[in-house]
Structure 1
Amino acid sequence: MVHYQRYQLRKCGGVGEEDEEAQTLVLEFGSSGYYKRTKPKILPLLFVFSLVSCSLLLVPHLFSCFSTISLLCTFEVENDRVAVDREADAPICDSISNGSICCDRSGFRSDICFMRGDIRTKSASSSIFVYTSDTDDDFISYSLAKEGEGAEEKEEELQHEKIKPYTRKWETGVMDTIGELDLVVKKDKYGRRHHCDVQHSVPAIFLSTGGYTGNVYHEFNDGLIPLYITSQHLNKKVVFVMLEYHNWYMTKYGDILSRLSDYPPIDFSGDKRTHCFPEAIVGLRIHDELTVDSSQMQGSKSILDFHNLLDQAYWPRIRGLIQDEEREAQLRLKERVSLFPSSLSPEAGEQKQEEKEKKPKLVVISRNGSRAIMNEDAMVKLAEKIGFQVEVLRPDRTTELAKIYRALNSSDAMIGVHGAAMTHFLFMRPCSVFIQVIPLGTDWAAETYYGEPAMKLGLKYVGYKILPRESSLYGQYDRDDPVLRDPKSVNAKGWQFTKKVYLDGQNVELDLRRFGKRLFRAYDYISKKNQRAVQ
């Protein structure tokens, strides 16, 4: 693991002729990756200008921290060297020097590397290079070039790091499917570097949209929220470079990405051009399941700020949907009035709509296949009898997220059975009610992945753990079978058992008398909350 890099300049004067190494200015690059150091050659002209070259070498380092956009850089000058200003308790890679790489591999969930300087991509070899030079002095560069004339040009490799920019590094199976990037620091002796096809003035963030992408939980938990955590301090002045780029992903999440960056994302594998950046972050930070830890964020940003970003992303589209619906409603009303003039007055229609809007809105996320609520229709009727206005959503992969966001963001409560679709609690307003139906054998996952994060968002969370008799497994196993009596022992056998028995092989038939008590309490809570809001 590379904690940080440090350039150290050895003193240039006061050495004897017999000490050839000390006579030459040496740039020493330290890291826990690896580095190469070749024996310096004797350059007569370099002796004459050694003091001048030392001064010139220091100048770019002293002023490199004052670039327009700097991700990490904080330096201080200590006597005759440039050193990283690092407190004992400062986080890893809180500052790095120009022309270097720093990788933080301390996280359980992800690795992340930082690069600064002359950064250039080479997608054909899955490489990102950062170049550094011996000196910026034109005369010395000319002398080096003259000495190397006729010799094979060589870029000296100083550091080499490898990283898979995905946030589930503990899962070997899925990480084996993620493309690996080579991050390389090279010393360019003769000024021949890869040509820049596209020169960017803002930093880049390299990330993978492979792995479990395609599952809405993982798309938010492993991708979008970590991307927000990693990029929000850049105020949209950043370019996202994606490995395993998908057009459908851009269609689905383009509205969110446009709120995080002012620039179009780059398909790293598909775009063969050399892109050049002043700085880069490779990999993403991740805090916990579907949340943002404000104590680790600049400006104490939290999951509520991410929710606000979703608001900004989806409401322009939602307003368009509302306008379209209003126009269609007006046309239908005019047609009906023209056909049946006395059947319905506009005032009667408006009164009916107002009565509907006064009722608390409950959204039911319906499932097909496994973990479906078998008596869903009866449950909906019970909720309506209690006083809810009920909307049943049946989202699939093609459902426009703005439509789901609109339904949930305008709701007072949501009901759903544990599964990836519960990720949509992120679309709800704080203080809304989230009732998660928890099938047998899914207690830990339901609470960890959705229950606890929902409470961090400020939702009123209710976990409804079904009884064995409410599970379809009740008719398939003996009453004393561990599947019904001791699900933990079944889960202990491994993920495949959990998936086969409890996730893929189970449906739910709610005890409506028992479940109805939760609905009554939710209705009472919402009614009192709404009353306080109008007082």
Structure 2
Amino acid sequence: MNSTAYSRPSKLPGGAGDRRPPTRLRGFASKIEPKKLGAGLLAGCCLALLTYVSLAKLFAIYSPVFASTANTSGSQEPGVPEVLSRKEDEAEKAAEAAATSVPNPSAEGGGEGAALAKMSCDENGEDEGFPYARPSVCELSGDIRISPKQKTMYLVNPSGGGGFDENGEKRLRPYARKDDFLLPAVVEVTVKSVPSAAAAPQCTKTHRVPAVVFSVAGYTDNFFHDNTDALIPLFLTASHLKGEVQLLITNYKPWWVQKYTPVLRRLSNYDPINFDADAGVHCFAAGYLGLYRDRDLIISPHPTRNPRNYTMVDYNRFIRSAYALRRDRPSALGEAPGMRPQMLIISRGGTRKLLNLEEVAAAATELGFNVTVAEAGADVAAFAALVNAADVLLAVHGAGLTNQIFLPTQAVVVQIVPWGNMDWMATNFYGQPAREMQLRYVEYYVDEEETSLKDKYPREHLVFSDPKALHKQGWQALAETIMKQDVKVNLTRFRPFLLQAIDKLQE
């Protein structure tokens, strides 16, 4: 019994000097006392362990750092502690916390997800300096259960708060263009506030990333609108999540999803869910219904729509990255003997054709360009590579000019603007976006003698006498007249604009 755990002082207290305990008493103590001490120590350890376990359970229930893993299914991994990250950027808290450590929304009784239930909607449709009203967008956090079959997002919301109607619902058509003509064809999604988890359908799959529900209805078979009404709004809404987001697409078009797979994969690490066909119940702790948007091909800072201050330069870099376009600067003229700048002329097969395209290409070649003529097709990746290889992009006003998003920074865009007071459309749809992407911009305005309208209408017609009046009549009147023209540029007038393009490459 020489263990230090039971050792005694070599001298007894009280000044007893060198006296030692009697041998009999010392022997008795050596036989009995360790047993009592051992039993007491064992009882004390058990009591301490019981206390620790009780406190740990209490902490696990009430601490915001842990969440129960009960009733999880699908992609959620049981037994993983979930830490709610604290971010400096208030605008990113809900979404980024969901991306890194989403609380378990499927736990019975609501739990933390219910306590955090929140829905905030941006319904300010006013669009500064632009004729199209912006769409409504809602952000949700808490216990969110999405049933595509029922076209419903359930929010476990014991408090009943939020921007719901008297039925506890919020209805929204998640297409990123608020157009009264288009919206009836967009699937309507309902956000339904429910008082408890028991009132919502049970999860068939639980996701650890936020959800984004949006529509690809409307004009999305047009490359301009594919970007303005879907891809750029999706970039604004989800790119900060760095791939940790689940896309749910309504008005689902398989060909559209396939066409833009490189972009969708760049935005999300997960296959998109067909919101029109999926029969499951998908559970999230954060999500968006609808997409944020700005003007067409223009992104401006805004406290709610664009709190991270993205620009079209960012989108240009993003889209080049999605299609693995490595060229980020145009050719530096004069650096290599015999170097010729590359010009891509986008041809059109419908209206607004460049009737003397071959003569324009010959004039550009004579001035020193290597000229390629091509029409954009369904293979976006192939055409993107062709555009990215160009130093100068030339086209008549139309959706083909949207391909400027693939150009290297500081390349040149030349827009041929048709007759008919088209300056506002030319500038806002393509001219200003080019400048916003730090591209150099040249525009050429067609005169009365260069438009095919002169062969169709007398000079006293509104097309010539007051084209602005046609604009005031609305898009249909415009589409039937001015937008149906072709152009044949006067090469004498046009040549100086080609020289401008060369000059801008040398700036």
Given that 2:299 and 2:310 are in contact with CA atoms closer than 8 Å, whether structure 1 keeps it comes out as yes
Cα 1:231–1:435 shift into 2, 3 Å: same
Cα distance in structure 2, aligned partners of 1:97 and 1:408: 51
Alignment of 1:395-410 (within 5 A): 395-396=376-377, 398=378, 400-410=379-389
Cα 1:299–1:162 shift into 2, 3 Å: closer
The yes-or-no answer on 1:173 pairing with 2:181 is yes
Alignment of 1:191-206 (within 5 A): 191=198, 193-206=200-213
Cα 1:62–1:132 shift into 2, 3 Å: farther
The yes-or-no answer on 1:288 pairing with 2:306 is no
Which of these residues, 437, 452, 462, is aligned with residue 416 of structure 2? 437
1:360 is matched with 341
Cα distance in structure 1, aligned partners of 2:356 and 2:270: 48
How far does residue 312 in structure 1 lie from its aligned partner after superposition?
1.6
The yes-or-no answer on 1:465 pairing with 2:445 is yes
Cα distance in structure 2, aligned partners of 1:355 and 1:176: 59
How far does residue 521 in structure 1 lie from its aligned partner after superposition?
1.8
Alignment of 1:284-363 (within 5 A): 284-294=291-301, 296=303, 297-315=306-324, 358-363=339-344
Structure 2 counterpart SS, 1:436: strand
Structure 2 counterpart SS, 1:259: helix
Cα distance in structure 2, aligned partners of 1:491 and 1:376: 28
Given residue 102 of structure 1, which amino acid in structure 2 is its aligned partner?
A: S
How far does residue 199 in structure 1 lie from its aligned partner after superposition?
0.9
Which of these residues, 184, 187, 190, is aligned with residue 195 of structure 2? 187
How far does residue 104 in structure 1 lie from its aligned partner after superposition?
1.9
The yes-or-no answer on 1:254 pairing with 2:239 is no
1:52 is matched with none
How far does residue 485 in structure 1 lie from its aligned partner after superposition?
3.0
2:286 is matched with 279
Cα distance in structure 2, aligned partners of 1:443 and 1:511: 19
Which of these residues, 208, 215, 226, is aligned with residue 222 of structure 2? 215
Given that 2:239 and 2:267 are in contact with CA atoms closer than 8 Å, whether structure 1 keeps it comes out as yes
Alignment of 1:5-404 (within 5 A): 67-68=84-85, 98-107=116-125, 108-133=133-158, 159-169=168-178, 171-188=179-196, 191=198, 193-294=200-301, 296=303, 297-315=306-324, 358-396=339-377, 398=378, 400-404=379-383
Given that 1:472 and 1:508 are in contact with CA atoms closer than 8 Å, whether structure 2 keeps it comes out as yes
Given that 1:158 and 1:187 are in contact with CA atoms closer than 8 Å, whether structure 2 keeps it comes out as no
Given residue 525 of structure 1, which amino acid in structure 2 is its aligned partner?
A: K
1:492 is matched with 472
Which of these residues, 480, 491, 502, is aligned with residue 512 of structure 1? 491
Cα 1:106–1:500 shift into 2, 3 Å: same
Given residue 273 of structure 1, which amino acid in structure 2 is its aligned partner?
A: G
Cα 1:279–1:60 shift into 2, 3 Å: farther
Unaligned stretches of 5+ residues in structure 1: 1-54, 75-95, 135-156, 320-353, 530-535
How far does residue 60 in structure 1 lie from its aligned partner after superposition?
7.6
TM-score by length of 1: 0.68
Structure 2 counterpart SS, 1:479: coil
Given residue 214 of structure 2, which amino acid in structure 1 is its aligned partner?
A: L
Structure 1 counterpart SS, 2:401: helix
Return the index of the structure with the highest Cα Rg: 2
TM-score by length of 2: 0.71
Q: How many residues align?
A: 389
Structure 1 counterpart SS, 2:193: strand
How far does residue 177 in structure 1 lie from its aligned partner after superposition?
0.9
Given that 1:100 and 1:185 are in contact with CA atoms closer than 8 Å, whether structure 2 keeps it comes out as no
Cα 1:112–1:192 shift into 2, 3 Å: closer
